[in-house]
A and B are shown apart, each in its own frame.
Chain A
Amino acid sequence: AQSVTQPDIHITVSEGASLELRCNYSYGATPYLFWYVQSPGQGLQLLLKYFSGDTLVQGIKGFEAEFKRSQSSFNLRKPSVHWSDAAEYFCATRSNDYKLSFGAGTTVTVRA
């Protein structure tokens, strides 16, 4: 079964600095990959997704992710973080029957 792994449990970054969150997938064929953000009191919000095509995907809130088949990775990046980016981030993959499987999540703390 498809799965994703997020190696980093917690990342602290300074406001204005760049951010990269790691996600590794386990699947033979081209996977369907997603990045979600979860803020307290709010539902998960889709940042971006990759199904096929251009391996560099642009998302909302200034985020982007790059699909690298050679590294089985789909890392999320943002060039300059804002305090409002402090949240929990989840990488996910979707099975052929449309079920999502989430990684363990990475908590992002933004320091002033």
Chain B
Amino acid sequence: GAVVSQHPSWVICKSGTSVKIECRSLDFQATTMFWYRQFPKQSLMLMATSNEGSKATYEQGVEKDKFLINHASLTLSTLTVTSAHPEDSSFYICSASRTLNEQFFGPGTRLTVL
């Protein structure tokens, strides 16, 4: 149990386009989902926290107009990178939580912006 999936696992896009990444909790309802960003050989940095039906809470320094987060249901949250640029290239990881005492992580999405 407690499986989290992400789609796509890998995406390449042109500079200026938008990319949507999906995060799904497959076998449980996630009241809270978290989005992280991981640069190569570095740690995970929390970008934002989203609760179902509410606006996401962004961490300091994260542009909310660039990284749009939608948590429309208890099993799905999406991260849209708008007008992507090469510096947005990174590994994006989501996690889902049902009790807040534990987060279950997705396998990540590698974004490459050309």
Residues of A within 8 A of B (CB): 36, 41-46, 49, 90, 98-105, 107
21 A-B residue pairs with Cβ-Cβ distance under 8 Å, sorted by A, are: A41-B9, A41-B107, A43-B4, A43-B106, A43-B107, A43-B108, A44-B44, A45-B105, A46-B102, A49-B102, A90-B44, A99-B49, A100-B44, A101-B46, A102-B43, A102-B45, A103-B43, A104-B42, A105-B41, A105-B43, A107-B41
Q: Residue B97 at the A interface, CB < 8 A?
A: yes
| Neighbouring B residues of A36 by C-beta, 8 Å | 105
What 14 new A-B contacts, CB under 8 Å, besides A43-B93, A43-B107, A45-B105?
A: A41-B9, A43-B4, A44-B44, A44-B93, A44-B95, A44-B105, A46-B102, A98-B32, A98-B100, A100-B34, A100-B46, A103-B43, A105-B41, A105-B42
Complexed CA–CA distance, A42 and B108 (Å):
8
| Neighbouring A residues of B9 by C-beta, 8 Å | 41
| Neighbouring A residues of B105 by C-beta, 8 Å | 36, 43-45
Total A-B Cβ pairs within 8 A: 41
Complexed CA–CA distance, A99 and B100 (Å):
9
Complexed CA–CA distance, A102 and B106 (Å):
16
Min distance, Cβ A70 to any Cβ of chain B, angstroms: 26
Q: Residue B103 at the A interface, CB < 8 A?
A: yes
